[in-house]
Amino acid sequence: MKKWLSMSFVFSLVLSLSLVSPVSSVSAKAVTASVLTAENGSEVVLDKVEVYKDANGYDRVSIKGTRPTNGEPQKYHITVNRQTGTYKTTLEGLSAADTREINASQQNTENSQLATSYWTAWVKGTVTDPQPINASLASLQVDLTWGINGSIVSFSSNNLTTWAAKPSSLGTNWFTKKSHKSAPSYRYSGNDAVKVVQEGSAEFYNYDFLDNNKITEASVWIQITGNNNKTYTYNHDTGFRGEASLLLDLDIVTN
């Protein structure tokens, strides 16, 4: 009964989108991005949020943010409104699983007697059902640990983890199609490595979101740039395509 009630809610959202805010036809080759602004009341104001359709037909949401390496973990839900050109973020409490994963990966060490201090950046993106359901469907997590010695950075370790709900709390089943973790790279100032970059990606799919004969797909890419000033920048780019894909939302967790 819970699933049927929730599916009725989703169907009503689909109907309202078709009646009130029809999505214009966009060429699959169109890659022009629209920059969104934060709605009043957004609890996390990001460096940049864009929406665009890529060459593979995915409707994508691109997020850029900056975090201190020794800051408090942060989780927020983001929804985008392509018609108004805005986004809204809402802070959420960390789940017990998020807390365990952050604590397990955290390797921050700073000692005045040691030449090199080590810091960990942890970014997780979760595809969710629309609010108020907000059920977790699939996620990609990337973390990077790097050293800072003066203004020079060095790579230490990385990790990539994927998860897909089989089933979700509504009884739908998601699967991981593939994932990839890149080799770390550096950004230089002269001969000095001043930034270290880590990327990871994953693709997910589902055949029972609404119609068992139609596919819904999600593509997630995360890039973390470890800086030499105890901060990191993250880029989180997620694409949706297929059945009711524009109804999907995102939860982002950073440490």
For 74-126, the pLDDT digits (tens) are 999 999 998 999 999 999 998 888 888 777 766 666 655 567 889 999 999 99
pTM for the predicted model, two decimal places: 0.84
Q: How do beta strands 37-38 and 86-92 pair?
A: parallel
* Spatial separation of the C-alpha atoms in residues 42 and 231, rounded to whole Å: 22
pLDDT of residue 107: 65
Instruction: Flag whether pLDDT at 25 surpasses 60.
Output: no
Query: pLDDT tens digits, residue range 166-225?
Result: 998 888 899 999 999 999 999 999 999 999 999 999 999 999 888 888 999 999 999 999
* Spatial separation of the C-alpha atoms in residues 110 and 118, rounded to whole Å: 7
The beta-carbon contacts of 92-99 under 8 Å, at least 24 apart in sequence, are 92/251, 94/253, 98/73, 98/124, 98/253, 99/73
Q: Are the C-beta atoms of 127 and 149 separated by less than 8 Å?
A: no
- Please give the residue that has the higher pLDDT: either 135 or 21: 135
For residue 158 the two structure tokens come to: 């990385």
